[in-house]
Chains A and B, each alone.
Chain A
C-alpha cells in the first residue's frame, strides 16, 4: 500500500506539538516564576509615611536620583530574616537600599531594625501593601533594582544570598552605577 503524504501530516503535527511541550518541560521553565510587569518601566509614584516617623511623608521624587535597591520586607517573613545579614553587608559595601516595610506593624518593624541593624538608607512604612500592589509584589522578600532615572531594571523574588549576589545580581547592580 502506498502511503499518502497527507496521511502523515497529522502525525507530523502531533510530533511537532510533543517536541514543543517537551522543550518547555525540559528547558527548565519555572511555572512559579512570574515575570515583573515593571521591568524597564518607571517606578510608580507613592506617598507613604516613614517607618521611624509617621508624620514624615516620603514620595517617589524624593528617593529617585541614584542607583539603588528597593527591598520589600516584613517581620512576619522568615526568609527576610535569612536575607537580612546579606543586606547589612551590601549596605556596608556602599549599596544604597531603600526598605519598604510591607504589611507589617510599626513597633515590630522598629524592634527588628534595632535587633538586627538597619541596612536601609530610608525606611518606608507600607502597612496596607499599597506600594507593594503597584509594584506587583506577590510576597516578601522582593528586591527591585532602580537606576538613577527611577526606572526599574530588574526584580528579584526571594531572599538574596551572597552566592546569588556574586553570580548574577552584582552585575545587574554594577551596570546601573
Chain B
C-alpha cells in the first residue's frame, strides 16, 4: 500500500493550496483591533460585487470590489457601524449589493412564509391523521365488528 501513502501526501499537499484562493485579493490592512478586523471580514463577505456573477467582494478581483473593500475599511476606521456601512453601500449600489436582505414590507415574507408553511403542514398532518382514525372506527358496521372479533378469536 505504498502507492496509497504517496497519493495521500500528494493530495494533502495539493489541497493545502486551496484556501489561498478563497481570498482572491488580500490587501495588507492595518486595523486598530481584532474586533475591527473581524467586522471587515464579515462585511466584505456579506457584500456582493455589483459587476460579477454572484461573487462577494472579499472574493472578487473586480476593480469595483476593490473600491468597495477600501471604502468598507475606511468607514470602519471612521467609526461607522455595520448597519451604517451597509446603508451607505445600498444608497449607492442598491440592495443588489447585499446578500442578506434587509427587513422591509417587501421582504418580510421571506421570514414569515417558511413558518406559515410549516404550521400549515403540521395542521394538515393533524387534520388528515385525525379524520382517518375516525373513518376507520365508524366504517365498521355491527355485523363486521362481530366478524372481526370472531376472526381474532379463531386466530388465538
Contact = CB atoms under 8 A, between A and B. Distances in A.
A134 interface: yes
Q: Chain A contact residues: over half helix, strand or loop, or mixed?
A: loop
A136 B53 contact: no
Contacts, number: 44
A4 B128 contact: yes
Given A133-B67, A133-B71, A32 B92 contact: no
Contacts of A4: 128
B92 A9 contact: no
B93, B124, B127, B128 — most chain A CB neighbours (10 Å): B93
A38 to B, nearest CB: 8
A32 B94 contact: no
Given A31-B53, A133-B71, A139 B64 contact: yes
A32 B62 CA distance: 14
Contacts of A6: 124, 127-128
Interface string B45-57: 0000011011000
A64 to B, nearest CB: 20
Given A6-B128, A9-B124, A37 B90 contact: yes
- How many residues of A sit at the interface, in one of the four size bands? 20 to 34
Contact of B51 (A7, A36, A132, A138): A138
A134 B71 CA distance: 11
Interface in B39-87: 50-51, 53-54, 63-64, 67, 71
Contacts of A13: 117
Contacts of B127: 6
B61 to A, nearest CB: 13
Contact of B96 (A35, A133, A139): A35
Interface in B100-156: 117, 121, 124, 127-128
A34 interface: yes
A34 B67 contact: no
26 contacts: A4-B128, A6-B127, A6-B128, A9-B124, A13-B117, A31-B54, A34-B50, A35-B96, A37-B90, A37-B91, A37-B92, A37-B94, A103-B63, A129-B63, A129-B67, A133-B67, A133-B71, A133-B92, A134-B92, A136-B92, A136-B93, A136-B94, A138-B50, A138-B51, A138-B64, A139-B51
Given A37-B93, A129-B63, A138-B64, 12 more contacts: A6-B127, A31-B53, A34-B50, A34-B93, A34-B96, A36-B94, A37-B90, A37-B91, A129-B67, A133-B67, A133-B92, A137-B64
